[in-house]
Structure 1
Amino acid sequence: MNKLRRALPILALPLALLATACSTGATATEDDSTRRQLRELLDRNKIHALVDRLAAALGEGRFDTFDKIYTADVYAKSPGGEVRGRDAVIALISRNHSNEHRQPHYISNVQIDLAGDRAAVRANAVLAIVPVSTADGKFAPEPLFTSGGAYRFDAVRTPEGWRFARVETAPVWAMGTLPS
Structure 2
Amino acid sequence: MAGQPTLESLHKRLQLLEDKDELNTLLNHYCNTADDHKWDEYAATFTPDGVLGFENWGEIVGRDKISAAAGGAENRFQGLQHSMTNMQFTINEDTASARCYLWFAATMDTTKPHEYHAFGGHYRFQFKRTSEGWRISRMQLSKVWAQNEDTEGVFGA
Pairwise TM-score range, normalised by the shorter structure: 0.7 to 0.9
When the two structures are superposed, what TM-score results if normalisation uses the length of structure 2? Answer: 0.87
- Residues in 2 aligned to 1:63 and 1:51: alpha-carbon distance in whole angstroms: 14
Does 2:129 match 1:157?
yes
Does 2:94 match 1:122?
no
Could you say what secondary structure the match of 1:134 adopts? coil
- Residues in 2 aligned to 1:147 and 1:67: alpha-carbon distance in whole angstroms: 22
Greater helix proportion: 1
- Residues in 1 aligned to 2:151 and 2:102: alpha-carbon distance in whole angstroms: 19
Q: What are the within-5 Å matches in structure 2 for residues 1-80 of structure 1? A: 30-66=6-42, 68-78=44-54, 79-80=56-57
Alignment partner for residue 120 of structure 2, among 148, 164, 177? Answer: 148
- 1:174 is matched with which residue? 146
Change (3 A) 1:67 1:89: closer
When the two structures are superposed, what TM-score results if normalisation uses the length of structure 1? Answer: 0.76
- Residues in 2 aligned to 1:36 and 1:142: alpha-carbon distance in whole angstroms: 48
- Residues in 2 aligned to 1:90 and 1:67: alpha-carbon distance in whole angstroms: 5
* Contact 2:49–2:63 (8 Å) recurs in 1: yes
Change (3 A) 1:92 1:68: closer
| C-alpha RMSD of the superposition | 1.7
* Contact 2:89–2:97 (8 Å) recurs in 1: yes
1:123 shift after superposition? 0.8
Change (3 A) 1:100 1:173: closer
1:81 shift after superposition? 2.4
Number of residue equivalences: 148
Does 2:64 match 1:92?
no
Change (3 A) 1:104 1:85: same
1:67 shift after superposition? 5.3
Question: Percent same amino acid among aligned pairs?
Answer: 26
* Contact 2:85–2:101 (8 Å) recurs in 1: yes
Greater strand proportion: 2
* Contact 1:60–1:104 (8 Å) recurs in 2: no
Poorly superposed stretches of 4+, deviation over 6 Å: none
* Contact 1:81–1:92 (8 Å) recurs in 2: no
Change (3 A) 1:174 1:164: same
* Contact 1:128–1:143 (8 Å) recurs in 2: no
* Contact 2:98–2:124 (8 Å) recurs in 1: yes
